[in-house]
Structure 1
Amino acid sequence: MGMMKEFKEFAVKGNVMDLAVAVIIGAAFGKIVDSVVQDLIMPLVGKVFGGLDFSNYYLPLNNQGTTLALAEAKKAGAVLAYGNFLTILLNFLILAFIIFQMVRLINKLKKAEPAVAPATAEEVLLLREIRDALKK
């Protein structure tokens, strides 16, 4: 029973709960960015490059033609799906840039906080009074 109590104390510590919340929010944010890239950005990029769908770009590795859709080509054999990789790479770059901006903003906010002088301990004040009294 002692191990369960110890686990409960560990699980409800602030850092563990903060980490759990961060992972959940991060996963949800990742889905949002994934949707933005796949549903908004990549169609616009495809339109600029002549209506191309990057998610279906691949190189077949087994002498088949590239006329099949990516899912069908994967069933037929090995493929190098570089279009899907480009989409995921764009997801990563967007996430990394947003996280960088968030960290940068937090660091600016931390620097903007005025430095508060640490309170002098009562013992230190008493020692100073004794020192000053001995000097006289």
Structure 2
Amino acid sequence: MIQEFKEFAMKGNVVDLAVGVIIGAAFGKIVESLVSDIFMPIVGAVVGGLDFSNYFVGLSSAVTANSLADARKEGAVLAYGNFLTITINFLIVAFILFLVIRGVNRLKRREEAKPASAPEKPEDVRLLSEIRDLLASGQTRP
């Protein structure tokens, strides 16, 4: 069983998947920073200078706080600003992945459109083929 697990874990697909997950986590942090530190302040300025992360609705009358962190301490809240931020994160990641896959598909199409050229024969094989053709036709080489 240990040998089977070792073979499974060392297969290329599993290692590739692990690398993809690690890079994806790092990429997720970059996108999160891009959205929260660059895009959301711009969007917040356009809609009145407010921070989306503090957009919430208290679900009970006991919630009177002005910030989301304080409101969560007072009771249940509907944090739609946080949801909006995460949705924008998703849209940015989806768009970037779309661009990457679009680029990969273009490269594949270019490769498929190229005529498949036959690999060049070694010099000795080319010369022997020439001699064979000359002998078959009964000619001598000029």
Q: Is this a same-fold pair by TM over 0.5?
A: yes
| Pick aligned residue for 2:9 from 7, 11, 22 | 11
| Pick aligned residue for 2:38 from 37, 40, 61 | 40
Number of residues paired by the alignment?
117
- Mean CA deviation greater in 101-110 or 59-68: 59-68
What stretches of structure 1 of length at least 5 have no aligned partner?
120-136
Q: 1:32 to 1:95 in 2, by over 3 A?
A: same
Name the larger-Rg structure. Answer: 2
Report the TM-score when normalising by structure 2.
Answer: 0.77
Q: 1:117 to 1:68 in 2, by over 3 A?
A: same
Q: 1:115 to 1:4 in 2, by over 3 A?
A: farther
CA distance in 1: counterparts of 2:18 and 2:32, whole angstroms: 21
8 Å contact kept, 2:63–2:75: no
Q: Which has the higher contact order (CA 8 A, sep 6+)?
A: 1
The answer as to 2:45 corresponding to 1:54 is: no
After superposition, residues 117-132 of structure 1 pair within 5 angstroms as: none
CA distance in 2: counterparts of 1:66 and 1:91, whole angstroms: 29
Tell me how large the CA RMSD over aligned residues is: 1.8
Q: 1:7 to 1:118 in 2, by over 3 A?
A: farther
CA distance in 2: counterparts of 1:77 and 1:63, whole angstroms: 9
8 Å contact kept, 1:56–1:69: yes
Shift of 1:5: 1.1
The percent of aligned pairs where both chains have the same amino acid is: 62
SS at match of 1:51: coil
8 Å contact kept, 1:46–1:52: yes
Shift of 1:49: 1.8
Give runs of ≥4 in structure 1 deviating > 4 Å. Answer: none
